[in-house]
Amino acid sequence: MGETIRIVINNEIDIVVARQKGRELSKAVHFGIVDQSRITTAISELARNIYLYASHGEIRLSIKEENRKKGLEIIAEDKGPGIDDIRKALEDGYTTSNGLGAGLPGVKRLMDTFSIESVPGEGTKITALKWTK
């Protein structure tokens, strides 16, 4: 499976490109329409966070296979300001951008696995994975 699609996020158009690539890959893995929407929503949120908070970074998409199941892994990584309080950032309703505050908690709910690594002043890496049923 191993191929990784890398989308550099520098502007709003890159967010759209990342969503499109995610939808294409999720179709290729045979996710249903609901899971395709979950995946593209997660990608959109993660790419938007890169754009808003770090100015630039990247989304990496790859197909995974484990125990005869296939999945789609999303890695969002930037060298931005990092997240001072990860626990707070994962609270529903918390926002620093005057947004809805659904971003990271929403991504965590939409995906099967979710992990976040962040060092203030160095950047953030979020890994999320959705498995086919």
**How much of the chain is helix, strand and coil, in % rounded to 5?**
40, 30, 30
Mean model confidence pLDDT for the chain? 91
DSSP state of 11: S
Determine the Cα–Cα distance for residues 40 and 23; give it in Å rounded to an integer.
Answer: 6
**Would you state the pLDDT for residue 89?**
83
98 pLDDT band (50/70/90 cuts)? low
For 44-81, letters b (16+ CB in 10 Å) and e give bbbbbbbbebbeebbbebbbeeeeeebbbbbbbbbebb
The pTM is what?
0.92
- Tell me the per-residue pLDDT of 48-74, one tens digit each, with 9 for 90 and over: 999 999 999 999 999 999 998 999 999
**pLDDT tier, 97 (very low <50, low <70, confident <90, very high otherwise):** low
In this structure, CATH architecture of domain 4-131:
2-Layer Sandwich (3.30)
Check residue 100 and give its pLDDT.
44
Type of residue at 61: L
